[in-house]
Chains A and B, each alone.
Chain A
């Protein structure tokens, strides 16, 4: 999970390693993921989101590809 300065930089990095380019996420989308995942992490009641909650979270910010589905078997 890495930062890239631009779409072109991400594409070049992937091509150079022969790995598929995955969906790119904006900083605002990433903030939504970070806050949902971690906002209560220091508290006793904190827990990781369950699979259905993960799917709903990703879908809520437009990440609805199988790539973001924790139950997907599409990727072997």
Chain B
């Protein structure tokens, strides 16, 4: 069933990100999920429709599997010796939350460029007066997720 296949593909994608900090290629997901590459690509499209994945224009490369980014960004999270790129400030805290591991968020103030170095424990970030700002209203987030 395609729902079972999608689930296997999703778990394989997130397992790869968690273990390596990098996006998996189609072949990596196929191997991990135990299905053929055509099935993986079909599930990529299905997961995109469910708003669980954002793909590059080639339909095969993962741009976002939130909170993980498939491409380098200004939000780098270190956890357990592995570096993870996050899609945005929200996702920067989402990485240690998803991994359920302590981590360290490296980012910046978008206006001044001042670096942010924020330790995040299992119970949350260390006390900090930094702020998060979201320009796009919630109803529009998926209109252009990269911009959001």
A contact residues, total (Cβ < 8 Å): 48
Q: Count A/B pairs, Cβ under 8 Å.
A: 162
B109 touches A70 (CB 8 A): no
A33 touches B90 (CB 8 A): yes
Q: Does B116 contact A (CB under 8 A)?
A: yes
Q: Does B31 contact A (CB under 8 A)?
A: no
Q: When A34-B67, A75-B137 are in contact, do A27 and B110 touch as well, CB less than 8 Å?
A: no
| B116: nearest chain-A partner, CB-CB | A3
> Within residues 14 to 68 of chain A, which ones have a CB less than 8 A from any CB in chain B?
14, 16, 19-22, 24-31, 33-35, 37-39, 41-42, 44, 46, 48, 54, 58, 66-68
A26 touches B131 (CB 8 A): yes
| B75: nearest chain-A partner, CB-CB | A3
Closest 10 CB pairs of A and B: A1-B88, A34-B93, A13-B111, A5-B109, A38-B94, A9-B111, A25-B132, A38-B98, A31-B124, A2-B110
16 new A-B contacts at CB < 8 Å, known A38-B97, A48-B52: A3-B108, A4-B131, A5-B111, A6-B131, A13-B110, A19-B135, A24-B131, A26-B129, A26-B131, A26-B132, A31-B125, A34-B97, A38-B66, A54-B138, A66-B137, A69-B139
**A contact set with B: CB distance below 8 Å:** 1-7, 9-10, 12-14, 16, 19-22, 24-31, 33-35, 37-39, 41-42, 44, 46, 48, 54, 58, 66-75
Q: When A19-B135, A24-B131, A44-B7 are in contact, do A2 and B15 touch as well, CB less than 8 Å?
A: no
**B contact set with A: CB distance below 8 Å:** 7, 10-11, 14-15, 18, 50-52, 66-67, 88-95, 97-100, 107-112, 114, 116, 118, 120, 124-125, 128-135, 137-141, 148
